[in-house]
Structure 1
Amino acid sequence: MSPTPWKRPCASPRPPCSSGTEGRKPSAPRAMSCKRPGRPLRSSITLLPRQETAMLRSVRKILMRTAFPRNFAVLAAALLCSAALAVSAGAEPPAVTTGLGYKPMVQELCALYAQKSGQKPVEMYNGNIGQMLEQIRAGSGASVVVSDRATLESSNVAFAEFRPLGRAVLMLAWKKGVDIRDPADLKKPEIGSIGYPDAKAAIYGKAAVAFMKGNGLYEELQPRLTMFSTVPQVFSYLVSGNLDAAFVNEALIRKQGGKIGGWMELDKGYEPLFLVAGVVRGHENDPDVKAFLDFLGSPEAKAVCVKNNLRP
């Protein structure tokens, strides 16, 4: 009798077939897993610290340290992700923007809010208020806009509500060596250059043009007029002596008045400038936006607005 030829044993021997299965085509061998028993399944989900509550962090630690059956661990990771997204939807800090003319005041308000609440708002400053509104339309994510109410209401951005901050006034300023006692003095030959902010996008630019037209000055002064993008830009040209006179806001003058020759308040001749904090529609129910608006009504926030020359 010839010996039975030797065969290489299968890495994963199949159990003997039960009766009645002879001739059935065997199934393809199953792939072997290299995963060691008991090895914890580490989730690839990474959450920002502020998106995790204490409970979610505890659940995450359990997933990281405990050995679970694979299907259960995957399910738990998915539930953790869903819960974290739900929590984070209301955990975003308010995103606040304004034109550069009121950037110092808004920065001070945001710093005070962060000090009192422990949550620092996201701050966005990159131009005049018209430019900031266009960025909101493009999806910047700003939830609160500080500007005059008329500008916000006439813009293409939808607002849910407005929180009043105070009334602002237009100022006429002039460089050192120039003497102006009345707005009509702008017609004098020695006043060769007059600056003002963007009349379409900056609230003080709109007010300046309205004032000059209302007082019969615009047509005669037009050859001497130069329009700039923002109030700080106008003021810098005035300080450097490149402008003889300029229309600016009061906040800059009160802080840097020593660098120029003088100024006067223009309280009439244009639509009143009522500054507000406008809530972009869609953010009115955000808890952190509501908290920021409540803060703006506090005595501390009102003191900051008065300090920056807003009138009640």
Structure 2
Amino acid sequence: MKYNMSIFKTMTLVFSFLLGQTVAFGAYAEGLKVAVAGNFYKPLLQIAAQYHQDTGHRLLISTGSTGKLYAQIRNGAPFEFFMAADQVRPSQLVAEGMALADSQFTYAQGRLVLWSNQNNLVDQQGKVLNNFQLPYLAISNPKTAPYGAASVTVLKNLGLYQQLQPKLVEGQSVGQTFQQVSSGAAPLGFVALSQVYVDGEISHGSAWIVPSDLYQAIKQDAVILKKGEGNPQAKAFLSYLQTPPIQALIKSFGYQVNE
């Protein structure tokens, strides 16, 4: 399996545009190469802009499902810093000698939401899931995306998995699942709260914030990869993520943080 450089190049160009100028890919002075789970892509863009403003340093961002990014790292992708949507893959990379054990920490705890782009489709208790006439229900791939695994757990705990399984459509990441629902390709789906949460409320559409007792806590860990061991920006960014202003910013997207 070879690393797909087209995805990385696309994300690099997107972020370069957001910063207003082209970013070269390569030397440490030009930026820290960060792989981030799809649910945290939007918050990381804001963090990256603030980080650049505060320090003059840039982040070169690539996003995808945690499982896919993990596979790319193991196959030689040039990432230096990994922000996963679980604790398992960062721990595996540490065990495999591909990440620094003393750098691993939980930067956020994610929350799952059942969301529709339609204003009145999803009720506050999620009873819409009992409507078996719905054509599709979008989730992210439970094998590679922690939010997808959490979605399956919720459906099983509600006793609805068998009935709804034929209607499930899977995105490769929670970012892709969000696009499926946002575009109307699927009427509703399970996504990350951070994708639809602005200033303390759901930004648009209709949603049910899934009670946390219906799925295992989505604790998201970051870790410095071996390829970033010699880059001073890696440790600097690790510390930056743990500062009170950045923790407050993360919390504003609907995540729980260590207080």
Q: TM-score, normalised by structure 1?
A: 0.63
Do 1:168 and 1:273's aligned partners in 2 also have CA atoms closer than 8 Å?
yes
Counterpart in the other structure of 1:113: 51
Correspondence for 1:269: 214
Distance 1:271 1:284, change over 3 A: farther
Specify the alignment match of 2:35 in structure 1: 97
Query: Who is 2:205 aligned against?
Result: 260
1:144 matched to 2:81: yes
What is the rounded CA distance, in whole Å, between the counterparts of 1:89 and 1:223 in structure 2?
48
Which letter does structure 2 place at the counterpart of 1:180? D
Q: Secondary structure at the match of 1:201?
A: coil
Q: Secondary structure at the match of 2:224?
A: strand
Determine the structure 2 residue equivalent to 1:293.
Answer: 238
Letter in 2 for 1:307: S
**Which one has the largest radius of gyration?**
1
Alpha-carbon offset, residue 296 of structure 1: 1.2
Q: CA RMSD in A?
A: 2.7
Secondary structure, aligned partner of 1:295: helix
**SS of equivalent residue, structure 1 residue 159:** coil
Deviation at 1:99, TM superposition (A): 2.2
Residues 172-221 of structure 1, C-alpha deviations (whole Å, 9 max, x = no match): 12333424343454122333321101111112111111221233221121
Mark the CA change 1:190 to 1:181 in structure 2 (over 3 Å): closer, same or farther. farther
Would you say 1:163 and 2:105 are equivalent positions? Answer: yes
Contact 1:238 1:260 in 2 (8 A): no
Using the alignment, how far apart are the partners of 2:79 and 2:122 within structure 1? 43
**Identity of aligned pairs, percent?**
23
Q: How many aligned positions are there?
A: 224
Instruction: Provide runs of 4+ in structure 1 moved above 6 Å.
Output: none
Distance in 2, Cα, partners of 1:95 & 1:307: 25
For residues 188 and 124 of structure 1, do their structure 2 counterparts lie closer, same or farther at Cα, with a shift above 3 Å needed? Answer: closer
CA contact (8 A) 1:194 1:226 kept: yes
Distance 1:227 1:89 in 2: 37
Map 1:119-198 to 2 at 5 A. Answer: 119-125=57-63, 127-153=64-90, 155=92, 158-160=98-100, 161-174=103-116, 175-183=118-126, 185-198=128-141
